Amino acid sequence: MSEDFFVLVVLVAKAGREAELKQKLEAVVEPSRRDAGNLRYELFAQQDDPRRFIFVEHWESPQAQEAHHTQTAHIRRFQEESSDAVERIELFYRMKRLD
């Protein structure tokens, strides 16, 4: 049975590293869309703040999202090689649809 699990993440780039972070985040989008249990994986940039990036994710279950976040090569590679361009994770919400 599907649990329909959503994630909203807001990352802020370090000053001067916006383009670098954008490129690194874009690189994880397509592989993440192919991850088991992924239903939606979108990356946005805030229009009035080029340092702020937003992920909207929809997963079949919390377990699918957790596996994506902890076990996939593309996310591990980002964490090891590119996360230093992130100043902070401003928001990380795990959500369940109520309707």
The neighbouring-strand residues paired with 58 are 6, 40
Which residues of the chain fall below pLDDT 50?
1
pLDDT for the residue 1: 44
Domain containing 59: what range? Answer: 5-96
- Give the chain's mean pLDDT: 94
CA gap 26, 55 in Å, rounded: 11
pLDDT for the residue 2: 55
For β-strands 5-13 and 38-45, DSSP reports them as unpaired
pLDDT tens-digit profile of 38-57?
Answer: 999 999 999 999 999 999 99
For β-strands 86-96 and 38-45, DSSP reports them as unpaired
Helical segments of the chain, H only: 18-33, 62-71, 73-81
pLDDT for the residue 99: 75
Q: What is the CATH number for 61?
A: 3.30.70.100
